[in-house]
Each structure stands twice: as structure tokens, then as C-alpha cells.
Structure 1
Amino acid sequence: MASVHIDVMINSRSTQLPEQSKLEKWAAAAVGQHRQEAEISLLIVDEEEGAELNRQWRGKEGPTNVLSFPSDLPAELELPLLGDLIICVPVVEQEAIEQKKSLNSHWAHMMVHGTLHLLGYDHIDDQEAEEMETLETEILGQLGYPDPYQDRESS
């Protein structure tokens, strides 16, 4: 498994945050075979800041669960920085309740999902979404978590 270091900045009043070792384990599972070493900056925010950042960077109203900002460093520098993630705690907590998942399971999903975005995966079109969701499900399964999309409606 890859070695991943996460620089965590907490800007949230939540008392239910995962330990850094878990965050790093989940991200490392997503990094997998892509590279040996990676660094991620993680900002954990509450609803107001999450909404402002979503508006600023995506032009969308309200907070979202995770924002991903891949590093744009030149490849020849060979630095391990993958990029920045921003996770909005109230959204993650509410989604876990709505989706009838454990909070720990949903945090794992958000870290895997965000890290895959940093690695270049996306879900803009249906084919990309299916590829990314399949990969997320496999990674989370290897970590002992259920399929995060098991209750999705079949199309």
C-alpha cells in the first residue's frame, strides 16, 4: 500500500472527526498502485465555510460533501503532493444518516472519493461515473466497508 501523509487543518466544531491515521489509511487505499508516496492537504469545515467555498470554486449554492483540488505541479518535479481536499462535516454527517451508513463508513467513502479526484478520476459523464463508482466500491470493500452505492436506483 502507498504511503500517504495528510496535513489536516480543522475548521469545524464537530467532535466526531476520524483520527488522522484513519484518514491516511483511507487515502492510501485510494492511491493504491498509482504511486508509492503521496501528500494531501485536508481542510475540514462546517456548513457556512463549506457553502462559501462551493460557491467560490464551483459556482454552486450550499455546501457539498467534498471538494477536490488536484495539484498542478509539473510532473518533472516528482513531488508527492496530490492536492487539496475540503470536507464539510455537517454534510457528511447528514448524508450518513440519510443513507443509513455509519459515520465512519461515510468518512471513508468521502476520503476515497476525494483522493480519486486528486488522481484524475471524475464522474462527469456516465462512463466515467461508472468507472469511478466501481473503483470506489472495490477500494471500500478491501477496507471492509459496504458498497456505498448499494441503494442506488438502477437506470
Structure 2
Amino acid sequence: MSALTDTVIEDDRWHTAGLASLAERAALATLTHLGIDVGAHEICVMGCDDARIARLNTEFRDKPTPTNVLSWPAEDLAAQEDGAPPFAPDSDDPMDSELGDIAISYDTCAREAKESGLPFADHVTHLVVHGILHLLGYDHVRDGDAELMERKEVEILGNLGIGDPYNRNGGQ
């Protein structure tokens, strides 16, 4: 089976952190959990730093600050009804296999992991899962959608042996 993720490294610290393998593991777990054909899709994951992600955040969201992860879905799969599951991506068209792109900042991830007392690899995996869910039409703007997305994240991370990142009583 070919790789589900295409990882582009713009910050060499991501090589040492193993972003390519973390992204692939997160993508496989996410699509498998959701019953989506992993052989029919591709995701591009870019590992960058705070300066680069701040430029992207400014350009695409008009927020001139760094963030941990950004996502650009190839198509809008979001449900209209708050809390309803998103539409499934088309798995039948080999020319339309791209789910979208994700950018993740090393600096913000490292800072957040340290501040939360979380293993860096677990935090990165969580953020990649979070980004992939955005590619698949999940969101956290409306309450029902946020509850659904959070539940899916916790289930997927649990399948990977990673604790609930939203556990307000001590983290993972």
C-alpha cells in the first residue's frame, strides 16, 4: 500500500520529531475509524515553524499570529445541521483522491506540549488527527459540531493508546 500522507518538511526539527511517521499513523487511524477507504485518498502535511504558519494564518484567516495547525480541505464535506456527521468523501474517483492539506508548526506544538505536560509525539498526533477531521468536514464552531468532533478525536486517539486531550482533570 502506498503512503496516505505526503509530508513536506520546511523546518528540519520535524525530521527529528518523526513527523512523516506520526502523520501517516494519525491519518490511517482517522480514516480507518471513520470507515473511509485509506487506499483511495491522499493528504499533504507540511511541517513548518511559527513564522511560516503565522504568514499562512494571516493570508487565509486574517489572523496575524502563529497557530498550531491549519487545514485546507479539498472539498466542503460539512453537514448543514449542527451536530450531524459530515458527508463522506468520494472514494470512487481516482482523479479526486486529495482530501486536502495541513500545516503544523513545530514551535507552537512544542510550547503547547511542554505547557500541558504532554509527550510531544502525542500532542502532534492529536493535532494531525484534528487537522484531518477538518479536512473531512468536522468543525468546532457550533456546539453540536464541536461535541461530535471532540468525541471522534478522543475515540481515534484512544485507539492509538493516547489519552483524552480534553480531560480537564490532568490531561492525557
User: TM-score, normalising length from structure 1?
Assistant: 0.88
Point out the more displaced range, 11-20 or 124-133: 11-20
Between the aligned residues of both structures, percent identity stands at 38
Instruction: Judge conservation of contact 2:3–2:24 (CA < 8 Å) in 1.
Output: yes
Alignment equivalent of 1:122, drawn from 107, 126, 139: 139
Q: Is the 8 A contact 2:7 2:19 kept in 1?
A: no
1:6 maps to a residue whose letter is: T
1:69 paired residue number = 72
8 Å CA contact retained: 1:3, 1:28: no
1:34 maps to what in 2?
36
**Contiguous gaps of at least 5 residues in structure 2:** 77-88
Total equivalences in the alignment: 151
Question: Can you give the 5+ residue segments of structure 1 that lack an aligned partner in the other structure?
Answer: none
Within 1, Cα distance between the matches of 2:2 and 2:128?
15
Residue 61 of structure 1: how far off its partner (Å): 2.0
Shift, 1:71, TM fit:
0.8
AA aligned opposite 1:82: L
Contact 1:5–1:39 (8 Å) recurs in 2:
yes
Contact 1:51 1:62 in 2 (8 A): yes
* SS of structure 2 residue aligned to 1:83: strand
| DSSP-derived class of the 1:44 partner | strand
Match of 1:44 among 47, 58, 79: 47
Distance 1:12 1:149 in 2: 28
For residues 36 and 84 of structure 1, what CA distance do their matches in structure 2 show?
A: 16
Q: Is the 8 A contact 1:13 1:46 kept in 2?
A: no
Structure-2-length-normalised TM-score: 0.80
Contact between 1:4 and 1:28, CA under 8 Å: does it hold in 2?
no
Once the two structures are superposed, residues 71-106 of structure 1 have per-residue CA deviations (whole angstroms, 9 ceiling, x without a partner) of 139957443211100001101111101111100110
Root mean square deviation, CA, Å: 2.2
Query: Cα offset for 1:4?
Result: 5.1
